[in-house]
């Protein structure tokens, strides 16, 4: 069976690339044809019209499509996550110098960074200078919601006190170098690339904002999933085994070479290695070591938690991309499909969560949870501000934010 799979040149395309190039898809009798794209809008639209079968997709994007926020109507599903972590917030050296004057040190403390941003924004306003400009990869992205979450913590209103602009991930370092943006929120290796070019500094990471949180998913049309259930199951098994391979330390050199290839990311292998190792990420204060940026399979990182989907929905409501509707909760839940994931992986010795959703932010230490077999330990999943997201109390959660877009 031939399946076409779209990807964007980012490190978290690794699972899809490994499935195609390391033999995992072939072992499931799948000819996985890779299609490289440069923008998330291309990925979304080509999936919608059927020019691709599946794609690496921004985790909130299938939700946005199912809520009517995409230009081309299509019902999408996400039966698998492609890992957790992988995003960084990089800022210009000039902005880094400014926030350093307000107590920011290289520990990745998201709360301290947010407060420093607020002080710099106020100082610039007093001097009559332009607003800070931050690049995001797409309005319906974890990059956008996490940056907005960080800014909102300090009372900063996205698109009011700062300007947010959409920039393709690979162009972020160049836009930063040219002074067109003052910072960006994007998947690796582009934060590391800016740091190694000497034009930017990684100020904090996704993991410092929301630990163990999703970045990309496998996205596809629901009708394709229904018509090709057997083939999708084979693909998910191939992707799961590829994710395990990507997590193995012994495969690191092969992973770096695969990602750096001209037909994939087409970037220096040293940048890839530095990004995977977190060499330029802020040190974790307690251990003085770089943060682990990526998990591809460990701790259920490939499981499509419906609570993740509902958190993204809460942020769409918070920033008035959508109005809350009770009936949309089920639409959002049914976008992420743990049932398809479980059915596909039943043939493997995979340890899968028994639940479809969890209370996000409740785990402060590695915690054993119910699983289909064996023991599954989930990692800490806290938000930097200590908030807890209970999917069953979504409206109360949305109303709890002091900073949010005014209701229409």
Query: Mind listing the pLDDT tens digit for each residue in 159-172?
Result: 999 999 999 999 99
Task: Render pLDDT for 192-233 as a digit per residue (tens, 0 to 9).
Answer: 999 999 999 999 999 999 999 999 999 999 999 999 999 999
- The gap from C-alpha 249 to its chain's centroid, in whole angstroms, comes to 22
Q: What is the pLDDT of residue 175?
A: 98
Torsion sign over Cα 368, 187, 119, 154: negative
CA distance 2 to 229: 14
Pairing of strands 367-369, 294-295: unpaired
Question: Which pLDDT score, from 0 to 100, does residue 86 have?
Answer: 92
The pair of three-digit structure tokens given for residue 146, joined into one six-digit string? 């996490």
For the chain, the average pLDDT equals 96
**Which comes out higher in pLDDT, residue 289 or 29?**
29
pLDDT digits (tens, 9 = 90+) for 205-214: 999 999 999 9
The pLDDT > 70 percentage for the chain reads 97
The two structure tokens encoding residue 294: 């990526």
Cα–Cα distance, 158 to 342 (Å, whole number): 38
pLDDT higher than 60, residue 173: yes
Q: Which pair of structure tokens corresponds to residue 265?
A: 């990311």
Give this prediction's pTM.
0.97
pLDDT at 291 over 90: no
The span from the CA of 279 to the CA of 330, in Å, is 41
Helices 229-247 and 14-21 cross at an angle (nearest 10°) of 100
Q: How far is 349 from 229, CA to CA, in rounded Å?
A: 20
Q: Tens of pLDDT along 316-356?
A: 999 999 999 999 999 999 999 999 999 999 999 899 999 99
Instruction: Report the distance separating Cα 375 and Cα 202, nearest Å.
Output: 35
- DSSP element (H, E) containing 32: strand 31-36
Output the pLDDT for position 407: 78
What residue has token string 């998910």? 236
The predicted pLDDT at position 266 comes to 98
pLDDT in tens, 380-406: 999 999 999 999 999 999 999 999 998
Asked which of 47-51, 128-132, 196-200, 276-280 is least confident by mean pLDDT, the reply is 276-280
Q: Taking the mean position of all CA atoms in its chain, how far away is CA 196? A: 22
CA distances from residue 320 to 26, 64, 78, 161, 378 in whole angstroms, order as listed: 44, 12, 23, 17, 32
* Mean pLDDT value across residues 290-313: 92
Predicted local distance difference test score (pLDDT) of residue 186: 98
Handedness of CA 320, 119, 201, 92 (dihedral sign): positive
pLDDT (0 to 100) of residue 283: 65
| pLDDT tens per residue across span 69-87 | 999 999 999 999 999 999 9
Give one DSSP letter per residue of 225-289, joined into a string. Answer: HHHTHHHHHHHHHHHHHHHHHHH-GGGHHHHHHHHHSTTTT-S-HHHHHHHHHTTTSPEETTTTE
Nearest to 305 by CA among 18, 12, 79: 79
Q: Cα separation of 4 and 201, whole Å? A: 36
Position 309 scores a pLDDT of 99
pLDDT band at 408 (very low <50, low <70, confident <90, very high): low
pLDDT at residue 179 in the model:
98
pLDDT at 287: 43
pLDDT band at 285 (very low <50, low <70, confident <90, very high): very low
Query: What average pLDDT does this structure show over 280-289?
Result: 60
Q: For the chain, list the domains and their CATH numbers.
A: 2-84+213-267+296-353 (3.40.190.10), 87-209 (3.40.190.10)
Q: Which residue bears the tokens 């299509």?
A: 74
Give, in order, the Cα–Cα distances in Å from 150 to each of 141, 155, 255.
14, 9, 32
pLDDT at 289 over 80: no
Query: What are 391's two structure tokens?
Result: 């999917």
Q: Worst-scoring range by mean pLDDT, 74-78, 106-110, 302-306?
A: 106-110
What span, in angstroms and rounded, lies between the C-alpha atoms of 46 and 56? Answer: 12
pLDDT over 90 percentage in the chain: 93
Q: Give the tens place of pLDDT for each residue, 30-50.
A: 999 999 999 999 999 999 999
| Residue 286, pLDDT score | 41
Alpha-carbon distance 120 to 137, whole Å?
24
- The DSSP result for 354-402, as a single string, is S-S---BT--SS-EEE-BSSS-EEEPP--BTT---B-GGGHHHHHHT-S
């Amino acid at each position: 069976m031939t399946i076409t799979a779209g990807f964007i040149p980012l490190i978290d395309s690794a699972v899809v690339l490994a499935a195609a190039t390391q033999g995992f898809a072939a072992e499931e009798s799948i000819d996985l044809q890779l299609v490289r794209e440069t923008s998330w809008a291309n990925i979304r639209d080509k999936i919608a019209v059927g020019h691709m079968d599946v794609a690496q997709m921004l985790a909130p994007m299938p939700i946005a499509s199912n809520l009517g926020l995409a230009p081309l109507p299509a019902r999408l599903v996400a039966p698998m996550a492609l890992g957790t972590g992988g995003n960084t917030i990089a800022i210009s050296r000039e902005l880094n110098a400014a926030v350093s004057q307000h107590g920011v040190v290289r520990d990745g403390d998201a709360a301290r960074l947010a407060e420093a941003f607020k002080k710099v924004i106020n100082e610039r306003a007093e001097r009559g200078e332009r607003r800070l400009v931050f690049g995001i990869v797409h309005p319906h992205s974890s990059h956008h919601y996490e940056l907005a979450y960080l800014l909102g913590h300090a009372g900063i209103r996205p698109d009011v006190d700062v300007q947010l602009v959409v920039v393709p991930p690979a162009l972020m370092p160049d836009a930063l170098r040219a002074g067109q943006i003052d910072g960006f929120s994007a998947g690796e290796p582009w934060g590391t690339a800016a740091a190694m070019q000497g034009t930017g500094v990684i100020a904090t990471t996704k993991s410092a904002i929301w630990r163990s949180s999703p970045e990309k998913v496998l996205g596809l049309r629901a009708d394709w999933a229904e018509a090709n259930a057997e083939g999708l199951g084979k693909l998910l098994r191939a992707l799961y085994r590829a994710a395990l391979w990507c997590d193995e330390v012994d495969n690191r050199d092969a992973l770096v070479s695969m990602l750096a290839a001209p037909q994939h990311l087409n970037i220096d292998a040293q940048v890839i290695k530095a990004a995977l190792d977190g060499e330029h990420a802020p040190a974790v204060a307690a251990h003085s070591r770089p943060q682990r940026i990526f998990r591809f399979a460990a701790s259920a990182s490939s499981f499509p938690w419906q609570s993740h989907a509902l958190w993204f929905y809460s942020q769409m409501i918070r920033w008035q991309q959508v109005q809350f509707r009770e009936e949309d909760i089920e639409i959002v839940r049914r976008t992420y499909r743990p049932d398809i994931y479980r059915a596909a992986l039943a043939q493997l010795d995979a340890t899968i969560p028994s639940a479809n959703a969890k209370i996000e932010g409740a785990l402060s230490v590695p915690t054993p949870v119910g699983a289909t077999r064996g023991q599954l330990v989930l990692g800490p999943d806290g938000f930097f501000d200590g908030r807890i997201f209970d999917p069953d109390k979504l409206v109360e959660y949305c109303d709890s934010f002091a900073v949010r877009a005014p209701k229409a």
